[in-house]
Structure 1
Amino acid sequence: MADAIVTGPLSFTGKYLTKLLIESGKSVAGFTNDVSRANPFPGRLDLVRYSFDNVDSMATAMRGARTFYNTYWIRYPRGEMTYERAVQNSIALFSAAKLAGVQRIVHTSIANPSADSPFGYYRGKAGVELALVASGIPHSILRPTVFFGKEDILINNIAWLARHSPLFLVAGNGNYRIQPIAVEDYAALMNEHGERDEASITCDAVGPETYPFVDLVELIKKEIGSRARIVRVPQRIFYLASLLMAPLVRDTVVTWDEVRGLMANLLISNESPMGRTSLKTWLSDNAGTVGVEYHSERSRHYGEGRVSA
């Protein structure tokens, strides 16, 4: 039996959280789609395959754990996997946790979710939150925006493009804002909420700095020494350019919902920041490595694509 259950212990946020839990002396079991992947914590992390159609089986894996840390979600629909399906899979995980007697769930949502959102990603996230509340299990719902860290996707790939292209396209005027949080700060926040005994809570999880997107790109350029020229274009032209780039990196560079969500200022918060790490300082400290390689979403989650230098 494990003390804690983590979804995606081999992924980005899940891996940082798993490391913290193990370092604190906890035994950890983690749900993953592929138990054959290399385990960075051999002998300390038990890998369990998701079985969304068998709640009893997942409950057996969870039994004895005090806390369930849920990061499960999909970035975009793929084949039969839709946002609606991801909501149902999340409900199965919550049902398994309740059956197993889990005492608290720490759930990763997204800033500004809404059941009425025009964006499927945000509607789905709102649906999962409602399902968790309905489960009756004491919980913390944490709402991050965008993560940065050594293996992140967005910040790294902005830097990669700025290193490799003479032009950097920005959708619209670029004045919409973004408030990223360091993955280490977020993992620590999840860990802290997992130890709580008080009533359920929902809160945003963002970093201390907010940037207009175009200023964020300028900051990244400055720190890595890029001379790429920023060119503002209509959002549809920007998205078309990302589709043309996709075959070159064998990845989904950005989705239409992500473009519109960013431009709608959904990646910021009005709450006090929970993260402490400065993105500017982090970029300065990691200027020699950030963006040197392209970080592929498909490679990370589906075993496709590549990480390009």
Structure 2
Amino acid sequence: MHSNIDTLVTVFGGSGFIGRHVVSALARRDYRIRVAVRRPELAGHLQPLGRVGQIHAVQANLRYPESVQAAMRDSRVAINLVGILAEGGAQRFDAVQAEGAVAIAKAAAAIGARLVHVSAIGADASSASRYARSKAAGEQAVLAAVPHATILRPSVVFGPEDSFTNRFAALARISPVLPLVGADTKLQPVYVGDVASAVAEAVDGHTKPGATYELGGPEQMTMREIIELILETVDRKRLLLPLPFGLASLQAALLQFAPGDFKLTPDQVALLKVDNVVSEAAKSAGLTLQGLGITPDSMQAIVPSYLWRFRATGQFARKTT
């Protein structure tokens, strides 16, 4: 029986939200895993996901191509999970999601390694959002350097450590009113475990070379429906206040400097103007989770397993008699 124990996979951005699930999925499939991150000392939580010596963290910064090349040494596969949702300091969309992707793709090409690149549905060179434009530039650079690379585009990703469902649940705990941007915009939320399974399938060689897969959950939901599901899960009644995009942009101009859960950037508002769902073209070509043999989990099935902590009664559901 074939073993993966001799195959070294380098995971860039492996200590983040999606990263820990990808590392776990690869560890279960017996790969040796090198996690390339800016701060290896913060990647200790990954060690228990594998056997002794199976997972090893190294320092790499995408702005320094030499560190990327060093992290790729002897690797058979590279996975790029590096991405940011908002800019800050030296972390700019183009630097991380376009130029960073170039550095990884070139390092992979130089040693003949395969490449799995995680982008996002909505990556579009003509988008009003700089985030979406930088994602499109990253995809283009990847395919230019490694034409056989696999590109995975998830819709909005949810799971225990996400900054999406947890954020709204946290806001619901402290605010009686929740402003709703893009109330009717359709999303196709995808469970982080399913995204990780898709990455592992790509590493196993089960994806079509040079193809772009679109990863979405089992159903399309409007932003309003998603927030309503979160409120129902955390057992809190809150007033939802739909904001027109013009007003939301004005608010975001101020909130882009706000801390934590209150932060909202004009770029995020621009993203919410466009539906974020799996295209008909991807479905008909079989370039989806289902095409990889993965049956996606729904928000209804997963979200209660971790958002219970935001209920006033904790894990004990309020009794209604």
Q: Which residue of 2 aligns with 1:92?
A: 103
Q: Which residue of 2 aligns with 1:105?
A: 115
* Contact in 2 for aligned 1:51/1:58 (Cα 8 Å): yes
CA distance in 2, matches of 1:283, 1:36: 30
CA distance in 2, matches of 1:278, 1:284: 11
Helix, strand or coil at the partner of 2:302: helix
Aligned in 2, Cα 1:220/1:97: closer, same or farther, shift over 3 Å? same
Q: Tell me the alpha carbon deviations over residues 229-261 of structure 1, each in whole angstroms, 9 at most, x when there is no partner.
A: 112223344455567667774466222111221
CA distance in 2, matches of 1:247, 1:256: 11
Aligned counterpart for 2:200 among listed residues 191, 212, 221: 191
Give the alignment of 1:113-124 within 5 angstroms: 113-124=123-134
CA distance in 1, matches of 2:235, 2:61: 47
Query: Is residue 283 from structure 1 mapped to residue 294 from structure 2 by the alignment?
Result: no
Question: How many residue pairs are counted as aligned between the two chains?
Answer: 289
CA distance in 2, matches of 1:177, 1:158: 17
Query: Is residue 214 from structure 1 mapped to residue 224 from structure 2 by the alignment?
Result: yes
Query: Is residue 147 from structure 1 mapped to residue 152 from structure 2 by the alignment?
Result: no
Aligned counterpart for 2:189 among listed residues 176, 180, 194: 180
Letter in 2 for 1:193: A
Give the alignment of 1:7-18 within 5 angstroms: 7-18=12-23
Letter in 2 for 1:282: I
TM-score by length of 2: 0.81
CA distance in 2, matches of 1:83, 1:248: 19
* Contact in 2 for aligned 1:2/1:29 (Cα 8 Å): no
* Contact in 1 for aligned 2:188/2:218 (Cα 8 Å): yes
TM-score by length of 1: 0.84
Q: Tell me the alpha carbon deviations over residues 76-115 of structure 1, each in whole angstroms, 9 at most, x when there is no partner.
A: 332343222221222111111112221x211111112211
Aligned counterpart for 1:21 among listed residues 26, 43, 51: 26
CA positional deviation for 1:278 = 0.8
What is the identity percentage for the equivalent residue pairs of Structure 1 and Structure 2? 25
CA distance in 1, matches of 2:90, 2:31: 36
Helix, strand or coil at the partner of 2:36: strand
CA distance in 2, matches of 1:248, 1:117: 25
Aligned in 2, Cα 1:248/1:96: closer, same or farther, shift over 3 Å? closer
Helix, strand or coil at the partner of 2:82: coil
Q: Which runs of 4+ in 1 moved over 6 A?
A: 243-248
